[in-house]
Amino acid sequence: MNINIIATVIIIIMQASKIVSERKAVVTVASVVAAFAVCWVPYFTVFVIKPFISTPIDHIVDQLTLWLGYANSSVNPFLYAFYNSSFRDGFRRVLCRPCPCCARQPNVEQTGSRRRSDRDSRWDSGVGV
């Protein structure tokens, strides 16, 4: 009897966890689609109406809408980082990595030896994370 109750509780918890993760995925996809629409709809609107109007569209407006569309590519990583913790951690790992020439060496007085960590030796060997 107790095993059935425990199994039922575990199943309910797993289903609730699945619903929460699906909801997070829907919110992430919705925000990416909304950003895509905000960035690209102006360009496609200008592109579609250009052949039908007699007055040419200003070159600056044309280029501005195109670059707004290109800006969508730079917005997406920030959206994914905002909504996804594992993407955020990977993003932080890539951006906050010290350069090999500036990697801090451990202080001899603090460690008692000059042994370097595995992470420092990976930089020297050229192997990434």
Angle between helices 59-83 and 85-95 (to 10 degrees): 110
The answer to the question of residue 26 being in a domain is yes
The fraction of the chain above a pLDDT of 70, given in percent, is 75
The answer to the question of residue 3 being in a domain is no
How far is Cα 75 from Cα 115, in angstroms, rounded to an integer? 41
pLDDT exceeds cutoff 70 at 110 = no
Decide: 124 and 105 in contact? Cβ < 8 Å. Answer: no
**Which of the four pLDDT bands, split at 50, 70 and 90, describes residue 46?**
very high
Average pLDDT, the chain: 77
Three-state SS for the chain is: CHHHHHHHHHHHHHHHHHHHHHHHHHHHHHHHHHHHHHHHHHHHHHHHHHHHCCCCCCHHHHHHHHHHHHHHHHHHHHHHHHHCHHHHHHHHHHHCCCCHHHCCCCCHHHHCCCCCCHHHHHHHHCCCC
The answer to the question of residue 59 being in a domain is yes
The answer to the question of residue 37 being in a domain is yes
The answer to the question of residue 105 being in a domain is no
Range of the domain at 37: 14-96
**For 88, what's the count of Cα atoms within 13 Å in the CB-facing half-sphere?**
6
Domains in the chain, number:
1
The answer to the question of residue 116 being in a domain is no
The answer to the question of residue 88 being in a domain is yes
The answer to the question of residue 109 being in a domain is no
pTM greater than the 0.85 cutoff? no
How far is Cα 5 from Cα 7, in angstroms, rounded to an integer? 5
Decide: 122 and 63 in contact? Cβ < 8 Å. Answer: no
